[in-house]
Amino acid sequence: MSREEFLKGLGEALAGEAPEAVIRDNLSYYREYITQEMAKGRTMDEIVAEIGEPRIVARTIIDSCEASGEALSGTGSYGGMGGYQDDGASGYGSRQGQGPNIHYFNLNKWYWRILIPILFIIILVTALNVVGGLFYLLFRFAGPILVFCLVFWFLRNLKK
């Protein structure tokens, strides 16, 4: 299956089932996604195996439209929140348009998979250093503090 066959199948499956803006946004998204993946050296068969057949993808899009209240109405108008936009490089996606903006971080990116464990290790080492430093100060001054407390206790008991 070629890229154009996939997009044609997706467009036909969405026609009459979803608002034109949703169809246009999704066709644009998948066109760009397939182009990017093919530029990475992947074959069209690998890409289709990953994202699924056009009719299955279309069913998911239609179900999403119905769930969010963007289903095609009798007038054919589009009253949704806008299309999904993700440039892929920013690490987060957003829905933009008339409604509230919803942002999320895509933690499946390769750099997040490296960065999160590194940050965890840095925080753990820092916490251990702080606790170790406190114990070091406590043990360093424990002798003089104990001597002072014993002298104070002895003097206080001596007056009685």
* Residue-wise pLDDT tens digits, 3-42: 888 899 999 988 888 888 888 998 999 999 999 999 999 9
- What pLDDT, on the 0 to 100 scale, is given for residue 79? 38
Classify each residue of 147-160 as buried b or exposed e, where b means 16 or more C-beta atoms within 10 Å of its C-beta: eeeeeeeeeeeeee
| Beta strand residue intervals within 76-157, DSSP E | 84-85, 92-95, 102-105
- Would you say 92 and 104 are in contact if contact means Cβ atoms under 8 Å apart? yes
Residue 84: strand pairing partners: 95
- What pLDDT, on the 0 to 100 scale, is given for residue 137? 86
- What pLDDT, on the 0 to 100 scale, is given for residue 78? 38
The residue behind tokens 């946004």 is 25
- What pLDDT, on the 0 to 100 scale, is given for residue 110? 83
- What pLDDT, on the 0 to 100 scale, is given for residue 75? 37
Tokens representing 14 are: 């969405």
Calpha distance 28→86 (Å, rounded): 12
Query: Which residues of the chain, if any, have pLDDT below 50?
Result: 74-99
- What pLDDT, on the 0 to 100 scale, is given for residue 122? 97
> What's the pTM?
0.44
